[in-house]
A and B are shown apart, each in its own frame.
Chain A
Amino acid sequence: MNDINSFLSRLNSIINFSTILPKIILIVGLITIVITDLVNKGKNANFLYKIFLISTLVSMGILFYQLISVIAFEDLYTNNTFNNLFRFFILICSFISVLLSVDYVLCSKISLVEFPLFKISAGLGGMILSCATNLITIYVSLEFLALSSCFLSGYTKRDIRSNEASMKFLLMSGASSSSLLNDFSLLYGFSDGQVQLDNIIDKILFSQYIPIICISAAFILAGTAFKLSLFPFHQWTPDVYEGSPTPVVAFFSVTSKVAALCLFTRLFRLIFPYLSNEWHIVVELLAISSMILGNLIVVTQRSFKRMLAYSSISQIGYVMIGILAADLENGYASMITYRFIYIFMNLGTFARITPFSLRTGSDNIKDYAGLYMKDPVLTFSLVLCLLSLGGIPPLSGFFGKLYLFWHGWKAGLYLSVTVALVTSVISIFYYLKIIKLMLTKTTNLVDTLKTYENQKSLVSSIISTKLKSSVEMAMILCALASTLSGLFMDPIIKITRNTFF
Chain B
Amino acid sequence: MLLFDVSPGMALVSAVTVIRAKNPVHSVLFFIPVPRNTSGLLPLSGLDFFAMIFLVVHIGAIAVSLSFVVMMPDTKIEEIHENILRYFPVGGIIGLIFRWTNLETLGNLLYTNYSVPFLVSSLISLVAMIGAIVLTIHKSTKVKRQDVF
Partner of A34, one of B99, B114, B130: B130
A11–B114 Cα distance when bound, in Å, is 10
Number of interface residues of B (CB under 8 A): 30
**B103 on the A face (CB < 8 A):** no
B82 touching A20, Cβ below 8 Å: no
The main secondary structure of chain B at its interface with chain A is helix
Residue numbers in B under 8 Å from A167 (CB-CB) = 79
Are A174 and B86 in contact, with the CB atoms below 8 A? yes
Indicate whether A41 reaches chain B with its CB closer than 8 angstroms.
yes
Is the Cβ of A188 less than 8 Å from the Cβ of B120?
A: no
- Given contacts A11-B112, A114-B130, A147-B128, A188 and B123 within 8 Å (CB-CB): no
Report which of B82, B120, B131 forms a contact with A151, defined as CB distance below 8 A: B131
| Structural contact, B134 and A111, CB atoms closer than 8 A | yes
How many residues of A sit at the interface, in one of the four size bands? 35 or more
| Distance A76 CA – B113 CA, assembled complex (angstroms) | 8
Contact B89 A182 (CB under 8 A): yes
Residue of A nearest to B85 (CB): A178
Minimum C-beta distance from A428 to chain B (A): 40
The answer on a CB contact under 8 Å between B115 and A188 is no
Chain A residue nearest to B116 (CB atoms) is: A76
Q: Please tell me if the beta carbons of A188 and B93 are within 8 angstroms of each other in the complex.
A: yes
Q: Fill in one digit per residue for A13-40: 1 if any B CB lies within 8 Å of its CB, else 0.
A: 0110000100000010010001000010
In the complex with contacts A136-B117, A147-B124, A151-B127, A174-B93 CB distance below 8 A: no
On whether the beta carbons of A15 and B115 are closer than 8 Å, the reply is: yes
Residue in B closest to A189 when the chains form the complex, CB atoms? B96
| B90 beta carbon closer than 8 Å to chain A | yes
A181 interface residue (CB < 8 Å to B): yes
Q: How far is the CB of A496 from chain B (nearest CB, A)?
A: 27
A-B contact pairs, 24 of them (CB 8 A): A7-B112, A14-B112, A14-B115, A27-B123, A34-B126, A34-B130, A76-B113, A118-B127, A128-B116, A134-B114, A137-B117, A140-B121, A143-B124, A147-B124, A147-B127, A148-B131, A151-B127, A151-B135, A155-B134, A174-B82, A174-B86, A182-B89, A184-B93, A188-B93
* A residues neighboring B (CB under 8 Å): 7, 10-11, 14-15, 20, 27, 30, 34, 39, 41, 76-77, 111, 114, 117-118, 121, 124-125, 128, 134, 136-137, 140-141, 143-144, 147-148, 150-151, 154-155, 157, 166-167, 171, 174, 177-178, 181-182, 184-185, 188-189, 193, 195
CB within 8 Å of A: which residues of B?
Answer: 79, 82, 85-86, 89-90, 92-93, 96-97, 99, 112-117, 120-121, 123-124, 126-128, 130-131, 134-136, 149
